[in-house]
Chain A
Amino acid sequence: MSGLLGFAVTFASLCFALAMLFATARLFKGPAAQDRVLALDVLYMNGMLLLLVLGIRSMSAAYFDMALLIALFGFVGTIALAKFLLRGEVIEP
């Protein structure tokens, strides 16, 4: 991997790593619980996109499945945490 696409892949990896760093800072800093849940949402989204960029770099399809799994479980986790903040329990009878 070299040339224009190699430069773009390196730049995108650094940008997503920086975005994950910002989200982690908000995760530790956030004054209320909902700020931390929002930061976790941004963190998994950027991690998923970073995995897709790594998949472009290595040109293999294995990263795609990991990205899909991260999207699925990140959504479930965020919904469970938001529901817990809203109601005090996740699954109501």
Chain B
Amino acid sequence: MSELPAWAAVPAAILLVVGSLLAVIGAFGLLRLPDFFMRMHPPAMGSTLGAGCVLLASILVSSAVEARPVLHALLITLFVVITAPVTAMLLARAAVHRGARRTREPG
């Protein structure tokens, strides 16, 4: 295994650190916030921007390894971007339907 060139390794490292920090902060918010509608928000940060950062890092590293543009990780990005709002909307509707309570009223 040869070493990657620096133009791919440094941005990939930064993107990996940023994406994983976003994911762990989102999961921590999921664990700590008091009610369901608040808990829906933080993981979305990890699953949009965090997944985007990690997939961009994956594209950079695989392109540098194969010495040609390897773009198939864009498929996962596209799929995640399409499916995350659908999941969030159906879960929120299920929670409203099942009568989930807020801890504090808005306004």
On whether the beta carbons of B16 and A19 are closer than 8 Å, the reply is: no
- B residues 1-59 with Cβ under 8 Å of A? 1, 3-4, 9-10, 12-14, 16-17, 19-21, 23-24, 26-28, 30-31, 36, 39-40, 43, 46-47, 50-51, 54-55, 57-58
On whether the beta carbons of A82 and B72 are closer than 8 Å, the reply is: no
Which residue in A3, A18, A61 is a CB contact (below 8 Å) of B9? A3
The residues of A that contact B79 with a CB separation of less than 8 Å are 68, 71-72, 75
On whether the beta carbons of A52 and B98 are closer than 8 Å, the reply is: no
Bin chain B's interface residue count: 35 or more
Q: Is the interface of A mostly helix, strand, loop or mixed?
A: helix
On whether the beta carbons of B90 and A83 are closer than 8 Å, the reply is: yes
Q: A75 to nearest B CB, angstroms?
A: 5
The residues of A that contact B51 with a CB separation of less than 8 Å are 45, 48-49
On whether the beta carbons of B87 and A41 are closer than 8 Å, the reply is: yes
On whether the beta carbons of B36 and A38 are closer than 8 Å, the reply is: yes
Asked whether B104 is an interface residue with its Cβ less than 8 Å from the other chain, the reply is no
Q: Complex Cα distance A87/B107, Å?
A: 31
On whether the beta carbons of A19 and B54 are closer than 8 Å, the reply is: no
Q: Complex Cα distance A52/B61, Å?
A: 11
Question: Given known contacts A12-B54, A53-B16, is B26 in contact with A42 (CB within 8 Å)?
Answer: yes
Q: A residues near B, CB below 8 A?
A: 1-5, 7-9, 11-13, 15-16, 18-20, 22-23, 25-26, 32-35, 37-39, 41-42, 45-46, 48-49, 52-53, 55-56, 59, 61, 64, 67-68, 71-72, 75, 78-79, 82-83, 85-86
